Structure 1
Amino acid sequence: DDIVLSANLAKGTFYYHFESKEELLVALQEAVLSKAIESVRQKLANGASPLKLLVDFVAETGHWTEENPEFARAVFRQKSAQFTRGVLGAGVKQGKDCTKEFPQDSFPGLVMDLLKQAQKVGEIRGDVETNELAGLVMPVIMHAKARWLFRSEGSLPALLERRLKLLIEGLKAGRRPNAAD
């Protein structure tokens, strides 16, 4: 009700666009992310390292989370509930091999694209499907954010950067498992 009053809207107008205030929070966060994603894509087009962009972008989202912890907690809960219900957001389609295809202006879409570009330029292994790499990277990001959101220990950007760099080190191009592995 407070949101509707502050925005000088009728309740029906609000609920036409959002089923709940939590959905509004998700939309607001996605609007903020959209601007950051656009900036990353521009830097990528100008030749920046995809892996450096990935680490920097994820750290930037960590800064935003630290600056807006209550907002971030509400969004995290809403997205977790959506995930649990099997609803991953507008525009997400089931792809081949039980993978998800994400819109390019989404967080997972950007992560997928940066990993794919890193493979193309030889920064990380090209012998592994991008979806499989994203399946390793995304949980590391989400776990670090969840841990920080509900414990708030230390610097989230530093935690994200440390974990991503550790994971990326194992994914670097030229590293291959030994025959005994």
Structure 2
Amino acid sequence: YYDNKLGDTQSFLAKSMAMDEFIKTVICICDSVKGRKHSKHTVNLSFDEWNVWFHSNGDEVEKWSTAPHQLEDVYTFEDALLVGLMLITLLKHADRVKVACLAQLVNVIAPIMTENGGGIFEQTIFYPFMHASNYGRGTVLLSNTVCGKHDTREFTDVPDVDSVAVLSDDGNALT
């Protein structure tokens, strides 16, 4: 989970770089073991679980209350941007990351919220997830985006643009 407790938007939005490095490190470890064992088996990964989360911590729930609302965070545009960047990171590693589970889907730190009486509404983090689901199907293409870079308090050489390209299964669309 990634948070912005320090209120540093630039570093918060760069946290997808930490996710990318984590995935690369795990892939290197798996490939190293594969080499040491002289194995032909390539280990694919499951990334379980991920999301942005810091708004609440559960301390606001009254003890012994019945069916309290807990961890029902309201997400911001900033949160949606990082979720989108994390989805780009996961797509870039689609050759090895075969499953990536968003932490929760409904109400608790979730993109979808229910309302008393049966209604629902989508939070900001729902939309990058929806777009990745709709447009991220097919073959992820290797792409090289040339752009400027900047430093933040936590990260250096942060690309000003992050992108991924996906060719649809029928080959008729590039997203």
TM-score, normalised on structure 2? Answer: 0.30
Bigger relative CO (Cα 8 Å, ≥ 6 apart)? 1
Higher fraction of helix? 1
Higher fraction of strand? 2
